[in-house]
C-alpha cells in the first residue's frame, strides 16, 4: 500500500472544518429557535449534519486506505443501493434466480473487473452480457406476466446501483501524466463537488426557493435552489483545483458539468420515488433516508466525470 497523497489530508481537514461550521450553525439555530427540539426543519438539518459526520469519517477512512478501501466501500454502497431499488420494483417469483445472480455474482464481478482495471470488459459486462443473460434466466422459469416491465425495472436497477456506482472506484485506473499516485483525489473531488451541490441546492432552496422546477416530481427542487447550488458548488470545485490535474478555470467547468449531471440524477430518482409512492429509498441514514437518496447525484455524475477524464486527460 502506498502512502496517501499529502493533499488528501489537507482536503479532509478542510471538509472537517466545513462540517464543524455547519454543526455550530445547526446547534445555534436550534438553541435560538426551538431548544425543545420541536422544529422539524431544524431537527432534520441537525440529523443530516450528524449523518454527514459519519459518512465523511467512513469515506475519509476509505480514501486513506486507498484503492482497496474505495473499491470495497462502493461495492457495499452498490449492494445497499441495489437492495433499496429492487425492494421497490415489481418482480415476480420467476425472477428469483436472475435477482440472486445480480446480487451475488454480477455485483462482485463488476467490482473485481474494476479492481483489475479491465476497462474493455467492465464497461460492457453489465450493459451487454448481464442484460442479455438475466432475462434468459427469468424466461426459463416461466411466468410471462409483465415480462418486459420486470426485466426493464431490474436492468435499470442494476445499471444505476452497480454499473454507475462502480465508475467512482474506476477513476483510480486513469493514467494521467504528472498526476501519478494521486488518483484517489479525483474520487474525493467528485464526491465532494456533487454532494456539496446537493447540500447547497437544499440550502438555497430553503432560503430563497420560490419557483418549482417540476412540482409533480419534487416539491423541494426550485430554480433558485438549482442555480444557487450549482453555482456555489462549481465555485467550490474551482477552489479545489489544487487537488486536481486542472487549472482553476477548467476545474470550474468540470465541476459545473458534474453538478448538472448530479441534479439530473436527483430529479430522475425522485421521479421513480414519486411513481412508487415513497418519500425515501430507505431508512438507514438518519435525516437522509436510504443510500440511493444520498448517492443519486453521484450515480449520474460518475460516468460523465470518468469519460471526461478518460478522453481529455488520460493516456489510457
Least spacing, CB of residue 125 vs other proteins, in Å = 21
- Residue 289 pairs with which residues in a beta bridge? 285
148 binds other proteins (CB under 8 A): no
Judged by CB under 8 A, which of 83, 150, 288, 294 binds other proteins? 83
Taking CB under 8 A as the binding criterion, the range among 220-228, 245-253, 256-264, 275-283 that sits at the site for other proteins is: 275-283
H-assigned helices in the chain: 6-33, 40-65, 67-87, 96-101, 107-115, 119-122, 131-140, 147-158, 165-170, 184-208, 223-239, 248-276, 291-312
- 295 burial (CB, 10 Å; 0-12 / 13-18 / 19+) is buried
88 binds other proteins (CB under 8 A): yes
Judged by CB under 8 A, which of 120, 277, 279, 315 binds other proteins? 277
Q: Which of 150, 113, 105 is nearest to 130 (CA)?
A: 105
Taking CB under 8 A as the binding criterion, the range among 10-18, 79-87, 264-272, 308-316 that sits at the site for other proteins is: 79-87
192/281 with CB nearer other proteins: 281
10 binds other proteins (CB under 8 A): no
- Cα–Cα distances (Å) from 73 to 13, 63, 112, 168, 227, in that order, read 21, 9, 13, 10, 31
104/129 with CB nearer other proteins: 104
Q: How far apart are CA 290 and CA 195, in angstroms?
A: 15
H-assigned helices in 142-247: 147-158, 165-170, 184-208, 223-239
Judged by CB under 8 A, which of 100, 112, 214, 227 binds other proteins? 100
289 binds other proteins (CB under 8 A): no
Least spacing, CB of residue 134 vs other proteins, in Å = 13
Cβ contacts of 40 within 8 Å, gap of 6 or more = none
Taking CB under 8 A as the binding criterion, the range among 10-18, 97-105, 172-180, 198-206 that sits at the site for other proteins is: 97-105
Judged by CB under 8 A, which of 38, 68, 104, 286 binds other proteins? 104
79 binds other proteins (CB under 8 A): yes
Q: How far apart are CA 314 and CA 58, in angstroms?
A: 28
Which residues lie near other proteins (CB under 8 A)?
A: 79-80, 83-84, 86-88, 90-91, 93, 96, 99-100, 103-104, 276-277, 282-284
Amino acid at each position: 500500500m502506498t502512502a496517501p497523497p499529502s493533499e488528501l489530508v489537507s482536503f479532509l481537514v478542510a471538509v472537517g472544518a466545513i462540517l464543524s461550521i455547519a454543526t455550530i450553525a445547526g446547534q445555534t439555530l436550534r438553541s435560538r429557535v426551538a431548544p425543545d427540539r420541536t422544529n422539524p426543519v431544524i431537527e432534520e438539518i441537525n440529523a443530516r449534519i450528524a449523518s454527514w459526520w459519519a459518512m465523511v469519517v467512513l469515506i475519509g477512512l476509505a480514501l486513506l486506505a486507498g484503492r482497496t478501501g474505495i473499491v470495497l466501500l462502493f461495492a457495499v454502497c452498490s449492494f445497499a443501493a441495489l437492495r433499496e431499488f429492487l425492494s421497490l420494483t415489481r418482480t415476480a417469483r420467476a425472477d428469483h434466480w436472475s435477482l440472486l445472480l445480480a446480487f451475488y455474482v454480477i455485483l462482485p464481478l463488476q467490482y473485481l473487473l474494476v479492481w483489475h482495471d479491465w476497462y474493455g470488459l467492465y464497461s460492457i459486462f453489465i450493459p451487454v452480457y448481464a442484460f442479455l443473460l438475466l432475462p434468459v434466466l427469468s424466461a426459463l422459469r416461466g411466468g410471462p406476466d409483465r415480462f418486459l416491465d420486470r426485466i426493464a425495472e431490474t436492468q435499470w436497477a442494476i445499471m444505476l446501483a452497480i454499473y454507475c456506482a462502480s465508475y467512482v472506484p474506476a477513476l483510480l485506473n486513469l493514467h494521467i501524466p504528472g498526476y501519478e499516485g494521486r488518483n484517489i483525489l479525483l474520487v474525493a473531488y467528485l464526491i465532494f463537488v456533487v454532494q456539496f451541490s446537493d447540500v447547497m441546492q437544499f440550502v438555497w432552496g430553503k432560503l430563497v426557493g420560490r419557483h418549482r422546477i417540476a412540482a409533480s416530481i419534487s416539491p423541494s427542487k426550485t430554480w433558485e435552489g438549482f442555480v444557487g447550488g450549482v453555482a456555489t458548488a462549481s465555485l467550490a470545485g474551482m477552489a479545489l483545483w489544487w487537488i486536481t490535474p486542472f487549472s482553476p478555470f477548467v476545474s470550474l467547468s468540470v465541476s459545473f458539468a458534474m453538478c448538472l449531471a448530479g441534479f439530473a440524477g436527483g430529479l430522475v430518482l425522485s421521479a421513480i420515488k414519486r411513481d412508487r409512492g415513497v418519500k425515501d429509498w430507505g431508512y438507514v441514514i438518519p435525516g437522509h433516508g436510504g443510500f440511493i437518496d444520498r448517492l443519486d447525484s453521484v450515480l449520474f455524475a460518475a460516468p460523465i466525470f470518468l469519460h471526461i477524464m478518460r478522453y481529455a486527460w488520460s493516456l489510457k
